[in-house]
Structure 1
């Protein structure tokens, strides 16, 4: 479990720094994920070299966060073609090119963040240190990190450096703060949400002392930007265990996220609720689309979904789709194929299929006649959607066989009336698809 095969680019960067007389290690999440058999999103490197010293070792660098000790080292994205000269960055050997890395920069290069060992100064705003102090000690650098599973480093010479028992915690499947959890969460309140997010992504429990600290310091989440909260909540909901969203309520963090956010956990608002277990509120199996996961989570508060997501600085497309999805959960499924076409005209095929899959997944959480009836309607609705798509029925204004210009040509004045007539014609076609012929529609427009 403790053996990690470092990507060639990472080995090369570490090797160059060691040749120059410095220490260097891969560190953090990439070590954790590698030990767990997961593909790291990126590879970060920590070193005893100061930023200006790192820049002297490598030819191509970017000052991405030099005030915090971070320099991005650029490496070629792919190995050179056979037979061509291989001398390039820093006269690297061809083995330094690694096309399996997930680090991305663009322009034919991949970037690797190389950060100097550091100690964070006092945190004045509950998010950012007032100053960064460089240190020659790897141990001191690891001690400032959030959780033990993220406080490990590795290189080929030393192997895994685990000063804070991240390996035993991984074996026990536990999220534990490094050192005093009160101090860790006081330094950076976002770490509380990160604990819940890692718990969901890894299916780990949270250490009781760490969890109690989250409950105690939950109000500190008010210091965190809504954008950062959004990122963590979305990652949690998009994980393989979205049901862990229940911990956001149980920990008390939900009271400090946005207006009405607490209400989203009121499962008694939904027909057929309450669930035996709040964790069934959003079970695994819901399609992994951001708007579907959010819409499913917010289905108890469809009227407030837009407010919640806007406060979290969500993009407009996700807001609109999630709001619609949340509302659909609170409506009866359409009985007629015309009603199905009307719904499709608003949300489209992909969104409707995703909603039906989510609705089916949730309905399977229930038992009894109500659940059986809902499942029957879901399957009947899906058959209607299949039939509409296979027939190529018109479900949008863009598919109508008349345009606004056609209507003006027959004397309908330019302006709002054009839109009103087009929508009336679309409704006629949704009722009877065979009416989608230009001459038929123009005749209907005149009537």
Structure 2
């Protein structure tokens, strides 16, 4: 494990820290300490101090400080295009309920002078560490030990931390996925007991955390843990049908859930791809049929699944462009398992564009490698085919044709026949029967339509 020293910080960060300790007590706190111990570059450097809010404004007046939470004693300054938050030490006011200390909805924090109270209100031990030059690392909850053991523990009473902010359940899974950590038994039990509190969290906040955890390297184990704690079906209820769902097909030795999470873990960390992998077989339990030999088949699962994916992602309030992409890839995800002619491949490139056809290829490769070992994709290298198609400039649409609508109008064509002829010209080009050159296309149209 790495060590934290003043050399881990920039000149301006050192200047801020030393100014805080000149006029009071100050620390760099939270995720930046965790990241340095992990050998990662911190994304944000946050400070905490016992200096009164109004004094802080005067001390950093040269940076035009902004009040981002005056009631919470938070000041934001911007230096060299980087934002820094400086927060006053604070503690929550609790009330007793069912043997737990609960923060009431109208909680008003108290400003305090001791870093200990401030660290006590943070979420996880790995985020509840502070640093300054005089004290070194202040670690009251064994955050360094948990980093060394790659484990996630809540600060203090785990259930109380969840009740304060139920979204911390998904934050725990996000850290598990992104850092490759495990959840402690205490963390797992608290999540199981309090998971239903997630129902009170706005969909947008849940989706933000869920999308982040989907991009982690440890996503396979994380999704398994979400299933085992009952959290995953709270976010996507349709997923419950995939649990322990035997596929009864010689191509699959995994149940449906384990096949899906295998595919998710094997595609690149691209959000469209991860959501595609997550939902590509979501419709299988609905369309399963058996033949006379007891072998299951899943005809139309890609069509039904694409519709289900659109409904699920719309409910999660994801961007329309992402939803369109995921729906399209799921709808087409069986195509590349068949014999695909060059014409069909060129047409896919024209329809989908380079980025999404590449995503389709990545998905199909991951999907295929998550089946039985004896199932090998008979296609030649799909990446090579994509490269050749791009080199032959097959990434064109009707709008890229050398012969355009005005040319056809000048030739006497009208209305729907213009679109029909342009579609035919594109088809001939993608079949490599005619080049995308004006003279060649003019000659084709004259020969067929104006003879």
Q: TM-score range by the shorter chain?
A: 0.7 to 0.9
Deviations along 1:100-126, one digit per CA (max 9) or x if unpaired, are xxxxxxxxx322111111223469999
Q: Secondary structure at the match of 1:236?
A: helix
Q: 1:334 to 1:396 in 2, by over 3 A?
A: farther
Does the alignment pair 1:110 with 2:90?
A: no
**Aligned residue number for residue 410 of structure 2:** 409
Residue 442 of structure 1, CA deviation = 3.6
Q: Take 2:18 and 2:420, find their aligned partners in 1: how far apart are those partners?
A: 69
The answer to whether the aligner puts 1:68 opposite 2:72 as a matched pair is yes
- Asked if 1 retains the 8 angstrom alpha-carbon contact of 2:166 and 2:201, the reply is yes
Q: Deviations over 1:383-413 (max 9, x none)?
A: 3322221222353223212222223333333
1:281 is matched with 262
Q: Distance in 2 between matches of 1:240 and 1:270?
A: 30
Whole-angstrom CA distance in 1 between matches of 2:315 and 2:244: 20
How far apart are residue 241 of structure 1 and its match? 2.0
Matched ranges for 1:34-433 at <5 A: 34-59=36-61, 60=63, 61-75=65-79, 77=80, 109-121=81-93, 130-243=107-220, 244-258=222-236, 260-263=238-241, 268=246, 272-273=251-252, 275=254, 278=258, 280-282=261-263, 284-301=265-282, 302-303=305-306, 304-331=308-335, 332-369=337-374, 371-372=375-376, 374=377, 376-377=378-379, 379-393=380-394, 395-414=396-415, 418-433=418-433
Q: Distance in 2 between matches of 1:284 and 1:307?
A: 23
Preserved CA contact (<8 Å) 1:291 1:322: yes
Q: Cα 1:208–1:355, aligned 2, differ >3 Å: closer, same or farther?
A: same
Residues 277-331 of structure 1: CA deviation (Å, up to 9, x unaligned): 8285235442222111111111113321111111112112211112222233344
**Cα pair 1:71 1:115 within 8 Å, conserved:** yes
Q: Is 2:263–2:370's contact at 8 Å kept on the other side of the alignment?
A: no
Secondary structure at the counterpart of residue 396 of structure 2 = coil
Q: State the alpha-carbon separation in 2 of the partners of residues 321 and 263 from structure 1.
A: 24
- Distance (Å, rounded) in 2 between the aligned partners of 1:151 and 1:170: 12
Report the CA distance between 1:137 and its aligned residue: 2.2
Secondary structure in structure 1 of the residue aligned to 2:238: coil
Structure 2 CA distance for partners of 1:267 and 1:213, relative to 1, 3 Å: same
> Retained in 2: the 8 A contact 1:270–1:330?
no
C-alpha deviation, 1:66, in angstroms: 2.6
8 Å CA contact 1:28–1:44 kept in 2: the answer is: yes
Name the SS of the counterpart of 1:434 in structure 2. coil
Q: In structure 2, do the counterparts of structure 1 residues 19 and 182 end up closer, same or farther at CA, with 3 Å as the change threshold?
A: same
**Worse-superposed segment, 153-162 or 251-260:** 251-260
2: distance between equivalents of 1:156 and 1:412? 80
162 and 394 in structure 1: CA distance in 2 versus 1, 3 angstrom threshold = closer
Matched, 1:17 2:32: no
Normalising by structure 2, report the TM-score: 0.82
Contact 2:150–2:182 (CA<8 Å) still a contact in 1?
Answer: yes
Offset, 1:206: 0.2
Using the TM superposition, give the Cα deviation of residue 440 of structure 1 relative to its aligned residue in structure 2, in angstroms.
4.1
1:66-116 superposed Cα distances (whole Å, 9 cap, x missing partner): 3322111222x2xxxxxxxxxxxxxxxxxxxxxxxxxxxxxxx32211111
Q: Could you tell me how far 1:256 is from its partner in structure 2?
A: 2.0
Shift of 1:171: 1.5
Q: Report how many aligned residue pairs link the two structures.
A: 409
Instruction: Give the Cα separation in 2 of the matches to 1:316 and 1:38.
Output: 33
Give the SS at the match of 1:395: coil
Please state how far the C-alpha of 1:37 moved relative to its aligned partner.
0.6
Residue 26 of structure 1, aligned match among 2, 23, 28: 28
Question: Contact 2:428/2:434 (CA < 8 Å) preserved in 1?
Answer: no
Unmatched runs of 5 consecutive residues or more in structure 2 = 283-304
1:256/1:283 Cα in 2 relative to 1: closer, same or farther (>3 Å)?
closer
What is the CA distance between 1:275 and its match in structure 2?
2.1
Q: TM-score, normalised by structure 1?
A: 0.83
